[in-house]
């Protein structure tokens, strides 16, 4: 039981928004689609939901080809970035509408809605309008609506991008409790690499409508297949050293350490991050970010070094990984 | 805010003066209107109203005619415009823009140029003197503007609402019924007012299509009010007819205005 995208492509007028996409998400797995805006990640989600039709390829859910099935019959639970709550209906009405349309009897409707409201800790809000709720509460209502659909698959489109940092932390816990590890495939679209690594078992990095790399968060972090993935994943961003020949060397800020026999640098600025600190250094090889312990004080002469093992080498022309 | 803005007063006078003058005229005797006031014996009268209400057929007949016609025009226009406007928002931008250009030119076309051709149509189809048939050309003339207004309201709806409703299992009709139309109610209300007022006031087509006394609309009927002699103009009766004819319009505007204002202030559009 799983979701499979087979060579999916979508063309709008003459442009391919997404092309040659092959993905597989097992039940209980969370796949994050990660990439900058315009990379095709939301389009992919819409194709899975059935809101758009693919120009080529097929979508298989639980061994059934759903490529040409209507969105309703796919039984997807989708959460929109904008929440997409119906502003003229109360929270309860928002949740009841779908049940009513699906012909569930009245007492059962009431029972399910009050259950889900208490699950979401929204009991007191049944008669409020969405505009009376905070962003986090609205997002929980949107989540509740998706859960009520009893979907075969969950699709989350940037579910937290409109929330502040603290609410995101809270909602992550909520998402884990309610959706992840529920024996259903989850596809999670985000442009936030941090969120992707925190939530997903596997991450697919998309770029200009094509799959750049797919793998576990650890794979992507330690073995990025291209310079694009290397710069997209990991904060502070990976350092690119002035290139030698046709090769770009890259080194992560946390792999750099002080070394008396190393490269001599000048400190440009220092950023204190709480549990560690970030130094921006001017070195003969260009500006470098270095992540080090918060207690470390700046020595008189800064000399740095790193292990050859931690270097990532990329082809200068196509950005692909060499080693 | 305690000080009264002189501009506000000026605008009030500017827009209310003609109405008040009309009201004044409708209650004046014809001597009061045509002779110096010092020589007038009887200044105020209900005769104008009595005259038009006792005519054959009585004046309320035309009020009813116009109400029926304007309502049916508004309903037909909305039923055809709302789905059309929705479908335009689903078209690719390039095609949608060209559609809107065509609609705009149709909306701007001076419709008076059409009335002779329309009369020919009415004659061919034998629908002259049929009150409800008049709502066909009226709707046709109102639809371009109505589609433009309503489609811009659809465009302003936040992303994802329609799609969320689709995923909830609502079919197209249910989405109109439960989600889309309730959300664009302000636009529907203002469009309805425009269409209603247009059909209420329309003269040239009604004049040519209708000739039987008992199917006339208000504007045509008012123009037919006769004076006591060929040489006198029944100003008072005209004014009384205009006053009575404006009352339903005022009521309609008041009903819908409440909706528009509530729609704007409640933030029904922005979630």
Domain range holding B24? 1-45
Confidence of residue A201 (pLDDT cuts 50, 70, 90): very high
What is residue B177's DSSP assignment?
Answer: I
Nearest CA in chain B to A52: B163
| Helix B185-201 / helix B59-89 crossing angle, nearest 10 deg | 140
Please say whether the dihedral angle defined by the alpha carbons of residues A103, A106, A109 and A111, taken in this order, is positive or negative: negative
Same domain, B107 and B219: yes
State whether B29 and B64 are in the same domain.
Answer: no
- Output the pLDDT for position A176: 86
Q: What is the distance between the alpha carbons of residues B90 and B85, in angstroms, rounded to a whole number?
A: 9
**Is residue B210 one of the residues assigned to a domain?**
yes
DSSP string, B100-146: HHHHHHHHHS-GGGGHHHHHHHHHHHT-TT-TGGGHHHHHHHHHHHH
Q: Is B213 on the interface with A (CB under 8 A)?
A: no
Q: Is A78 on the interface with B (CB under 8 A)?
A: yes
- Interchain CB distance below 8 Å, A76 and B167: yes
B237: Cβ–Cβ under 8 A, 6 or more apart, which residues?
B48, B51, B52, B225, B227
- In DSSP terms, which residues pair with A302 in a beta bridge? A265
| CA angle at B68 for the pair B66 and B70, rounded to the nearest 5° | 65
Same domain as B19, residue B68: no
Residue A9: φ, ψ to 5°: -145, 150
Closest by Cβ to A131, choosing from B168, B178, B267: B267
- Domain assignment present for residue B50? The answer is no
pLDDT, residue B158, reads 83
A204: pLDDT strictly greater than 50: yes
Is B97 a domain residue? yes
CB B90 within 8 A of CB B154: no
Cβ contact B208:B119 at 8 Å: yes
Mean predicted confidence (pLDDT) in A247-261? 91
Of A72, A88, A130, the CB nearest to B169: A72
Q: CA torsion sign, A64 to A66 to A70 to A71?
A: positive
Q: Do B164 and A78 touch (CB under 8 A)?
A: yes
Q: What is the largest CA-CA distance in chain B?
A: 78
- Looking at the structure, do residues B60 and B28 belong to the same domain, yes or no? no
**Interface subset of A 136-165, CB within 8 angstroms of B:** 138, 145, 149
**Contacting residues of B for A72, CB less than 8 Å apart:** 166-169
Question: B66 and B5 share a domain?
Answer: no
**CB-CB under 8 Å, B92 with A84:** no
| Total structural domains within chain B | 2
- Is B157 inside any structural domain? yes
Q: Quote the minimal CA–CA distance from A91 to chain B in Å.
A: 12
Shared domain for B29 and B136, answered yes or no, is: no
Q: Quick one: tokens of A274?
A: 């709480």
Do B115 and B141 sit in the same domain of this protein?
A: yes
pLDDT at residue B31, as a whole number: 82
How many whole angstroms separate alpha carbon A18 and alpha carbon A207?
9
Give the gap in angstroms from C-alpha B82 to the nearest C-alpha of chain A. Answer: 19
Q: CA–CA separation, B218 vs B201, rounded Å?
A: 8
Q: Say whether both B69 and B202 belong to one domain.
A: yes
Please list every residue in chain A whose beta carbon sits closer than 8 Å to the beta carbon of residue B178: 86, 97
Q: Is A57 helix (H, G, I), strand (E, B) or coil?
A: strand
Here the tokens at position B211 are 């000739």
Count of residues making up chain B? 271
| Residue B72 burial (CB count, 10 A) | 19
Residue B101 shares a structural domain with residue B1: no
Q: Residue A180 and residue A202: Cα distance in Å, rounded?
A: 13
Q: Is A314 on the interface with B (CB under 8 A)?
A: no
Provide the shortest C-alpha distance from residue B132 to chain A (in Å): 35
Residue A1 has pLDDT above 80, yes or no: no
Q: Chain A contacts of B156, Cβ < 8 Å?
A: none
**What is the Cα–Cα distance from B150 to B152, expressed in whole angstroms?**
5
Contact B270 A49 (CB under 8 A): no
CATH of the domain at B140: 1.10.3720.10
Residue pair A98/B168 in contact by the 8 Å Cβ criterion? yes
- CA A313 distance to own-chain centroid: 26
**Are B47 and B29 contacting, i.e. CB atoms less than 8 angstroms apart?**
yes
User: A313 forms bridges with which residues in the sheet?
Assistant: A249
B166 at interface of A, judged by CB pairs closer than 8 A: yes
Q: Do B271 and A87 touch (CB under 8 A)?
A: yes
Q: Which residues of A touch B158 (CB under 8 A)?
A: 82, 84, 87
ipTM for the predicted complex: 0.82
Sign of the alpha-carbon torsion through B131, B134, B138, B140: positive
Q: Are residues B41 and B155 in the same domain?
A: no
Chain B segment 104-143 residues within 8 A of A by beta carbon are none
Asked if B169 and A86 come within 8 Å (Cβ–Cβ), the reply is no
Question: Based on the domain organization, do B40 and B64 belong to the same domain?
Answer: no
Whether the bond between B57 and the residue before it is cis, its omega within 30 degrees of 0, is yes
Residue B223 lies in a domain: yes
Q: What is the pLDDT of residues A57-113, one digit of tens each?
A: 999 999 999 999 998 888 899 999 888 999 999 999 999 999 999 999 999 999 999
pLDDT tens, per residue, chain B with 271 residues: 567 889 999 999 999 999 999 999 999 888 888 888 788 888 888 888 998 888 878 888 999 999 999 999 999 999 999 999 999 999 988 999 999 999 999 999 999 999 889 999 999 999 989 999 999 999 999 999 999 999 999 998 887 899 999 999 999 999 999 999 999 988 898 899 889 999 999 999 999 999 898 899 999 998 888 766 677 788 888 999 999 999 888 888 888 777 766 555 544 344 3
d(CA A258, nearest CA chain B) in Å: 51
Q: Is residue B68 part of a domain?
A: yes
A17, A48, A88, best to mutate vs chain B, most B CBs in 10 Å: A88
Q: In what order do the strands lie in the sheet with A286-293?
A: A286-293, A276-283, A257-272, A302-305
Give the chain B residue nearest A96 (alpha carbons).
B168
Q: Are B155 and B102 in the same domain?
A: yes
The residue with greater pLDDT, A228 or A166, is A228
- What sign for the dihedral angle of Cα A161, A162, A165, A167? negative
Using the beta-carbon criterion (under 8 Å), do A84 and B160 form an inter-chain contact? yes
Residue B220 in any domain: the answer is: yes
- Asked whether residue B51 is domain-assigned, the answer is no
- The whole-angstrom distance between residue A145's C-alpha and the CA centroid of its chain comes to 21
Chain centroid to CA A306:
30
- Any CB–CB contact under 8 A between B6 and chain A? no
Could you give the CA distance from residue B219 to residue B246 in angstroms, rounded to a whole number?
A: 11
């Amino acid at each position: 039981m799983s979701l499979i995208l087979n060579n999916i492509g979508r063309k709008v007028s003459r442009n391919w928004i997404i092309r040659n996409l092959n993905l597989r998400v097992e039940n209980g797995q969370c796949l994050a689609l990660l990439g900058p805006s315009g990379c095709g990640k939301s389009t992919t989600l819409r194709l899975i939901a059935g809101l758009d039709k693919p120009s080529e390829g097929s979508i298989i859910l639980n061994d059934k080809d759903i490529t040409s099935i209507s969105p309703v019959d796919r039984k997807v639970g989708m959460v929109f970035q904008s929440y997409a709550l119906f502003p003229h209906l109360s929270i309860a009405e928002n949740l009841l509408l779908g049940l009513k349309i699906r012909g569930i009897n009245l007492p059962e409707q009431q029972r399910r809605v009050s259950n889900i409201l208490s699950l979401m800790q929204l009991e007191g809000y049944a008669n409020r309008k969405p505009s009376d709720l905070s962003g986090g509460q609205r997002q929980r209502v949107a989540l509740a609506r998706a859960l009520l659909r009893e979907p075969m698959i969950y699709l989350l489109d940037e579910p937290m991008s409109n929330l502040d940092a603290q609410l995101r932390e809270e909602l992550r816990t909520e998402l884990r409790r309610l959706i992840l590890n529920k024996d259903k495939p989850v596809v999670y679209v985000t442009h936030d690499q941090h969120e992707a690594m925190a939530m997903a078992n596997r991450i697919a990095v998309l770029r200009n409508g094509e799959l750049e790399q797919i793998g576990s968060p650890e794979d992507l972090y330690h073995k990025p297949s291209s310079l694009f993935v290397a710069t997209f994943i990991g904060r502070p961003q990976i350092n690119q050293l002035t290139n030698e020949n046709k090769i770009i060397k890259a080194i992560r800020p946390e792999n750099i350490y002080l070394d008396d026999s190393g490269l001599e640098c000048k400190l440009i600025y220092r950023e204190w991050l709480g549990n560690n600190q970030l130094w921006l250094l001017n070195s003969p090889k260009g500006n470098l970010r270095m992540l080090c312990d918060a207690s470390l004080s700046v020595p008189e002469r800064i000399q740095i070094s790193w292990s050859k093992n931690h270097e990532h080498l990329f082809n200068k022309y196509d950005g692909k990984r060499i080693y | 805010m305690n000080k009264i803005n002189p501009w506000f007063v000026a605008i009030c006078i500017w827009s209310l003066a003609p109405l008040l003058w009309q009201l004044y005229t409708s209650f004046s005797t014809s001597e009061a209107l045509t002779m110096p006031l010092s020589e007038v014996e009887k200044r105020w009268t209900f005769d104008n109203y009595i005259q038009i209400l006792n005519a054959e057929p009585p004046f309320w007949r035309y009020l009813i005619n116009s109400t029926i016609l304007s309502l049916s025009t508004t309903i037909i226009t909305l039923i055809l415009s709302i789905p059309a406007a929705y479908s335009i928002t689903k078209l690719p931008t390039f095609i949608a823009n060209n559609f809107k250009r065509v609609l705009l030119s149709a909306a701007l076309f001076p419709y008076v140029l059409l009335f002779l051709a329309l009369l020919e149509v009415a004659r061919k189809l034998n629908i002259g003197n049929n009150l409800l048939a008049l709502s066909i050309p009226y709707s046709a003339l109102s639809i371009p503007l109505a589609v433009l207004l309503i489609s811009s309201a659809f465009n302003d709806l936040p992303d994802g609402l329609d799609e969320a409703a689709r995923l909830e299992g609502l079919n197209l009709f249910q989405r109109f019924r439960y989600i889309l139309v309730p959300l664009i109610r302000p636009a529907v209300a203002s469009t309805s007012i425009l269409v209603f007022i247009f059909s209420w006031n329309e003269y040239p087509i009604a004049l040519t299509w209708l000739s039987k006394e008992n199917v006339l609309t208000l504007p045509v009927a008012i123009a037919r009010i006769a004076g006591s002699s060929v040489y006198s103009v029944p100003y008072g009766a005209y004014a009384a007819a205009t006053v009575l004819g404006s009352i339903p319009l005022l009521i309609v505007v008041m009903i819908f205005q409440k909706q528009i204002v509530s729609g704007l202030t409640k933030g029904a559009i922005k979630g």
